[in-house]
């Protein structure tokens, strides 16, 4: 076997390892990405589209991501940004708010309790009014039972920062929902 | 209306948690793979785009460097007189004769008016002929003198670089070593009051 074919073989095996690892990450983190996106776009199909784009970008940069343990954090931040861009570009905010006001319970999406649905709709509206840095904390703590430590790791911020943001966000939500 | 208490907020956030616990659709992974497979074309286009951008930047840098270098050169033109001088000279040589004759024969008023117009023309021409920008320094030197000037400048540069020995007055003739500098002595300054200024403080009480 000559050097060129050996090198090509090595590169291909590295690439195969990358692909295998990426497949594992995709299976592991797709729910997280979709939930993060859903926390912003509030529409299942749009959330999947945003998460799909985030994974495509992640794949492009996957080989250059040195610390792959931080992949989830990177993915969350990318998904959040894409979701925000998605909302801004399509100007769906107003439509979404209107839809939330005239909300109808759907199987699997909302609970059957109408009072709870109304309360959730009001909460979403209040969350939308929060600044971005507080909104992302509220959404992430509501996903997969993330605690302060996990949210800090995902956002690459200090735990103290996340705690104070949580406090501020809860206070603002309480004021908005009174 | 009372503000929401912690329990109510926790209930609302629990509803939020329930709503956010959605699962990806079964075809999600397949869609991601399809999008990734469609990527190489885009990546190829990006490579070409970046190559084009890099080439354009390179050309711009080279052109800029050449342009900067051409700006430093001394331009020697055989026609020595600048345009400003020419226009002033022509105005001066043409106008005085008729002015003088009219001044002698008739009244002095036309003379002054003509002189005013001459001055006006002169000033306007100077104003218009003066270059607004002085980016390139043009030195008008006849070619035969240019060589001499260059030689003179190079001689000046060479002599300024030379480092001569220290002055002889600083060297002790017996030992041949440098004499340490003496400290400067400043005599004491005594301020005497001016005559007739006694008793005045100068300040307002």
Tell me the average pLDDT of chain A: 80
The reply to whether B18 touches chain A by the CB within 8 Å rule is yes
- In this structure, the number of other CB atoms found within 10 A of the CB of residue B197 comes to 9
Residues A68-77 pLDDT 10s: 667 888 899 9
The reported pLDDT for the residue numbered A4 is 58
| Contact check, Cβ <8 Å, A48/B25 | yes
The radius of gyration computed from the CA coordinates of chain A, to the nearest angstrom, equals 20
What's the rounded Cα separation, in Å, for the pair A20 and A30?
15
The reported pLDDT for the residue numbered B102 is 41
pLDDT band at A99 (very low <50, low <70, confident <90, very high): low
By C-alpha distance, the chain A residue nearest B2 is: A178
What is the 8-class DSSP label of residue B75?
A: P
- Is the per-residue pLDDT at A109 higher than 60? no
Residues B29-47 pLDDT 10s: 899 988 888 876 555 556 6
CA triple A130-A122-A161, angle to 5 deg: 30
- Is the per-residue pLDDT at B194 higher than 50? yes
Return phi, psi of residue B171, to 5°.
-105, 130
Residues B50-66 pLDDT 10s: 788 889 999 999 998 88
Considering only CB atoms, which chain A residues are within 8 Å of B12? Answer: 119-120, 122-123, 173, 177
The reported pLDDT for the residue numbered A176 is 87
Task: For chain A, positions 65-104, list CB contacts with chain B under 8 A.
Answer: none
DSSP string, B85-154: HHHHHHHHHHSHHHHHHHHHHS-SHHHHHHHHHHHHHHHHHHHHHS-S---S------HHHHHHHHHHHH
Q: Which two tokens stand for residue B57?
A: 């930047």
- Check if the beta carbon of residue B71 is closer than 8 Å to that of residue B133: no
Give the residue with greater pLDDT, A36 vs A12. A36
Q: What is the pTM of this model?
A: 0.50
- Is the per-residue pLDDT at A93 higher than 70? no
Residues A20-56 pLDDT 10s: 888 888 888 899 999 999 999 888 999 999 999 999 9
């Amino acid at each position: 076997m000559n050097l060129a074919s050996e090198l090509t073989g090595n590169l291909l095996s590295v690439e195969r390892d990358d692909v295998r690892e990426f497949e594992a990450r995709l299976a592991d983190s797709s729910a997280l990405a979709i939930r993060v996106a859903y926390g912003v776009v509030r529409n299942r199909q749009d959330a999947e589209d945003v998460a799909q784009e985030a994974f495509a970008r992640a794949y492009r940069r996957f080989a250059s991501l040195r610390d792959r343990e931080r992949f989830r954090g990177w993915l969350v931040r990318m998904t959040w940004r894409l979701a925000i861009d998605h909302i801004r570009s399509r100007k769906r905010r107003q439509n979404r708010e209107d839809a939330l006001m005239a909300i109808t319970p759907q199987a699997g999406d909302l609970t059957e309790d109408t009072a709870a649905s109304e309360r959730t709709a009001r909460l979403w509206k209040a969350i939308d009014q929060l600044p971005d840095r507080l909104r992302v904390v509220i959404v992430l703590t509501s996903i997969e039972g993330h605690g302060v430590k996990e949210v800090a790791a995902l956002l690459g911020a200090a735990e103290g920062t996340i705690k104070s943001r949580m406090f501020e966000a809860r206070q603002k939500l309480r004021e908005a929902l009174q | 209306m009372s503000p929401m208490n912690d329990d109510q907020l926790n209930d609302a956030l629990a509803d939020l948690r329930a709503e956010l616990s959605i699962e990806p659709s079964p075809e999600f992974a397949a869609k991601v793979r399809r999008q990734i497979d469609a990527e190489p074309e885009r990546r190829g286009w990006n490579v070409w785009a970046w190559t084009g951008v890099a080439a354009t930047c390179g050309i711009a840098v080279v052109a800029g460097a050449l342009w900067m270098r051409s700006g430093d050169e001394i331009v020697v033109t055989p026609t020595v007189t600048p345009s400003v001088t020419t226009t002033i000279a022509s105005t001066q040589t043409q106008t005085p004769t008729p002015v003088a004759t009219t001044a002698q024969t008739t009244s002095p008023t036309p003379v002054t008016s003509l002189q005013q117009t001459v001055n006006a023309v002169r000033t306007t021409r100077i104003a218009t002929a003066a270059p607004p920008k002085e980016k390139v320094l043009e030195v008008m030197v006849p070619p035969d003198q240019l060589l001499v000037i260059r030689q003179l400048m190079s001689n000046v540069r060479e002599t300024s670089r030379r480092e001569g020995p220290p002055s002889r007055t600083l060297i002790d003739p017996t030992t041949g070593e440098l004499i340490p500098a003496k400290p400067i002595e400043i005599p004491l300054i005594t301020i005497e009051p001016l005559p007739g200024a006694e008793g005045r403080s100068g300040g307002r009480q």
